[in-house]
Structure formats: structure tokens, C-alpha cells
Structure 1
Amino acid sequence: MRTTAKFTAAAAATVVLSLGLSACGTSSDPGASDKAGSGASADTSKPLLVAASPVPHADILNFVKDNLAAKAGLKLEVKEFTDYVLPNTATQSGEVDANFFQHKPYLDDFNKKNGTDIVPVVNVHLEPLGLYSKKIDDLKGIKSGQSIAIPNDTTNEGRALKLLADNGVITLKDSAGIDANLSDIEDAKGIEFKELEAATLPRALNDVDAAVINGNYALEAGLKPAQNSLALEKSEGNPYANFLAVKRGNEKDARVEKLATLLNSPEVKKYIEDTYDGSVVPVFGTVQ
């Protein structure tokens, strides 16, 4: 039986307030590291509590928990979050021991903006970002005057604009990088852009002509990226692999090391390939 706690955005205001006060703690603060332990000194008799997005991250973790963890001597618990902020603040404060939901460009931007100290441990998979529509059947149907919704966070907005540029929907300036924004569009070809929180994009499909949606939110909404998208990111050379992450200093926690090994196992590779049919791609190894 799975022990999975769901944490929704409805409780965000209360938790952000409490976590925000503890996120600035340092190793010299008495309560800053007591909850999570520190690296090799962590209490390995306790379950490892990992924050994760529901799909596919929590699904993958629950596969590990149900099929691999006991044999490896790992007690694992999964706590589901439905946004991209609370998993990091909870990891920073010690509310959870680790998280699994994000890619490197997002984490780098988050740490810089929030003064957090979270580091990647091991890559697990890639969720190709896709362009979806309920009104248009192919890219040729996107015309001047139509609207496209995109994620409003820094890294995923740049990622979305690159996907559109790579597929000829817009033209970006030569100087545009992975953190491109609307001001970096050289030619919008008459398209109107709506910047929305990533989690709301599937629901926005009824109100716009198309939307660029993160893979996990697409899957949660019943979309099949490999089949339903008008355009999909390529996996080769993609910097957006999702990884297991911890607060700096906890990388050597024996429980974290066991989970990292299991997440890069042949069993997890097969689970991802069999379950998601190309909509989620295994990408194992060290985070660059």
C-alpha cells in the first residue's frame, strides 16, 4: 500500500509563510538542519521523505517504493506537490529530505532568486515540452491573430519560446538564450502570447488557440505528448533532464545514495519506457 501525501496549492499561502522564514537558515542556526539531518550523519533509520510532482515523478518514486526499496534496505515516503515552488522551499527548510520535480536551468534560477542552497544528485528522465491545441490540427494552422499560452516562469518560458522558434512558429533574436522572454522575439508573426502559471496551462487550452505545456502537466491532463502534441522537444542534447535533488550537504546521506542508485536502475528504465511510451524518456547519469 502506498503512503503518498498530496499537498495542493490551496495550502500554499500558509506554508510559504512558515517555510520562507526557515529557508534563510544556515548551518549555524540551531533549527536549520535538525529536521533533515546532515549528509552521512542523517538518521538512516527514518524513512526518506521525497517531495515530487504527481506525474510522472511520484509515479516513478512509488514504483521504486513498491518494487525495489525494501530489497535495497530503503524506507521511502513520497509527498506530492502540485506546484514548482513548495518542493524546493520544503527541501531547504527540512520539511522533506529531497525532491524530484525539476531540471537544472529551473533550479539554478530558483536558487539565485530565493537564496536557497539545493543541489542535484542524479538525472532520471526528460519530459519533452510540447505544443498542444484543441482547435488546430497541425503547425500550419497557426496564423496571425491567434493566441498561444506559455509558462510564465523564467526557464520554462525560454524553453517554450525556443520550441516555437525551432518549429518556425516565431523568430527569436540571435542573442536569445535559454532564458529568453517575449522581448527576445524578433518576429511574432502576429501571434498573441499569454503568460500563465505552468500548472494552469492544460485548463487554458479551451481559451487559447494553442499552449506550450510541461510534460508532467500534460500527462496529468490526459494528454499524450508523443501522440497529441503539434510539436515536441527533442531529447538529444536537451539540458532539461529532471533529477533527484537535496539541500547542499545531504548528498552523502546513505538513504539518498540508495535512492539515486535505484532511480538509475534497469528496472526504472524499463518502467519509464513501458509506462509512458516516449512521453517520458529515461536520461540517467550525473547532472552536468
Structure 2
Amino acid sequence: MIKKISTICNKYFALLVIIIAIIALMRPNTFLWVVPRVSLLLGIIMFGMGMTLKKEDFKEVFTRPKDVLVGIIAHYIIMPAVAYALCVFLKLPKDIAIGVILVGCCPSGTASNVMCFIAKGDLALSVCISSISTILAPIFTPALILLLAGKWVDIPAAALFVDISKIVILPIVLGVVFNKVAGKTASRVVNVLPIVSVIAIVLIVGGVVGANSKKLITTAAIAIGAVVLHNLFGFLFGYLAAKVMKMDYAKRKAVSFEVGMQNSALGVSLAMNFFSPVSAIPAAIFSVWHNISGPTLASYWASKFKKVDK
């Protein structure tokens, strides 16, 4: 029953987020209680990620270091660079620009692994890239935000490092330890994780939309446009970067998803903790959009799986 519920939650995740966002927009007070608990919810998601990590997930670093390095570099160069370019080209308002850059500087989202699996991509490579990019986030995310968003606002890089470590790295480590110590209990808990993650992200989106219901009316169009372009350029440039490095078709798909899909929940948390509720809007929109674009692209690639690899 739990597995069936998990499957349903994953299948209709984007629809659930849209429904909650509409409710939060119409009745903002419904989810305002979530706002001070965003970091806690993200910590729960990261704890779940830690429980699913195995040493095998990192063996690609040693067996295929070039492929992993290409994915990590592409992720932390392409998405931040595209974010900055969109902010300048579209002349985004300050708070929205900060939010777009926050999303661009975040590590890969775990949903990228599911999309890679559906698309018949190199799943082992995808898992390794998302895991390593997450572990490196306390260093790269604050540094990139400082570099790119400094023209709009003062960036507390040291505080960002500490915060990301607390809400990302610490829960992951605790999840790994719990998995080792708890044994069979942990394996049962793992089955519930997809449901918990979906509920947590849906609540985070509801909280952000509720806190920004008035601002959303005036900023939604430009924010949605920036997020959609950001995500699509990420998929495209990630794929092209892998192709330039002469990686095969399965690897190109993995890198494309790892570049284009972000841990947008982290972007929401950082925005709410260090900047403004408005700057969390792009990350909230990204949570919805990349769970529409990702499955669409994955289904397209899955349909081409039987064609000759070029």
C-alpha cells in the first residue's frame, strides 16, 4: 500500500504542487505556518536522501572520474551563468533576480535521478553527480551566490556556508548513520521517503506562495518566464557540454538532467532565511516547472531508446 501511495505521489507530484499553490494563492493564511519551518522540512528531505545513499553511489568517482567531473563542472558553471545572464537580459527586479541566481547556484535535485532512469540514461552517473554536487554545495553555492548576486545585495557567504551545512550536509550524514545502525527498520522507513519528500516540498511551495500571494500577481509572469528559460537552457547546454566531451548518448542524458534540475527546496530555504520572501518565488516556481519539463523530456528520450546510439 505504501509503495502504491508513493507511486501515485510521484506520478501526480506536479499536479499536487499546482493545486496547493492555487489554494495558497486564494487563501494565503492556510500555509503561513510552514514559512518558519522550511529549513526543517528541507532537512527531513536531505535526511531521507542520506538514508538512500550507498558507497556504490560514489564508485563512479573512481571508475569514471572524467564523466563525473564533466557533470559537476557543467552543473556549477552552466546553471549559475544562465541565471545571471537571464537576470541581466530580462532586467529582472532585484528580489526576483536574487531568487533566480539562488536556484542556479543550488546543487542537483534528487528528482533528476528518477528522470534519468525513465529516460534510459546512465543512472549510476546521474546518482553520483547529484550526490557529489550536494556534498560540495556548502562551498560552491555560497561562493557562486557571492560572485553573481553581489551587485544586487550584500551576501553573507559565511552564514550561507553554515546554514547549508546544517540543513543539507548534517541531515545527510545523520541519514547515512541511521541507515547503518537501524538496519531493517531503516529499510522500512525508506519505503515511506517518497511520500514524505512530496509532502514536504508541497508544503514548502504552499508556504512560499502564501507568503507572497500579493506580490505573485505582479511578478508571476516575469518569474515564470525566467524559470522556464533557465530550466530549458540547463537541459540543452548540459546535453551539449556532454556531447562536446564525446560522452555517449546515455551519459549525455544523465548530464542534461543533472544540469537542468535543481534542489529548488534549498533555494527556497536560503531565500527565506537570508533574503526576502519574494526571492523565494523563482525557486517555488522551479519546483513545479521542472517536475513538468523533466518527465516530458524523460518520456521523449525513453521513446527513442531503441534507436541507434549516435
- Bucket of the pairwise TM-score, normalised by the shorter protein: under 0.3
What TM-score comes out, normalization by structure 1 length?
A: 0.28
What TM-score comes out, normalization by structure 2 length?
A: 0.26
Q: Which structure exhibits the higher relative contact order, with contacts defined as CA atoms closer than 8 Å and separated by 6 or more residues?
A: 2
Task: Return the structure number with greater strand share.
Answer: 1
Structure whose alpha-carbon radius of gyration is higher: 1
Task: Return the structure number with greater helix share.
Answer: 2
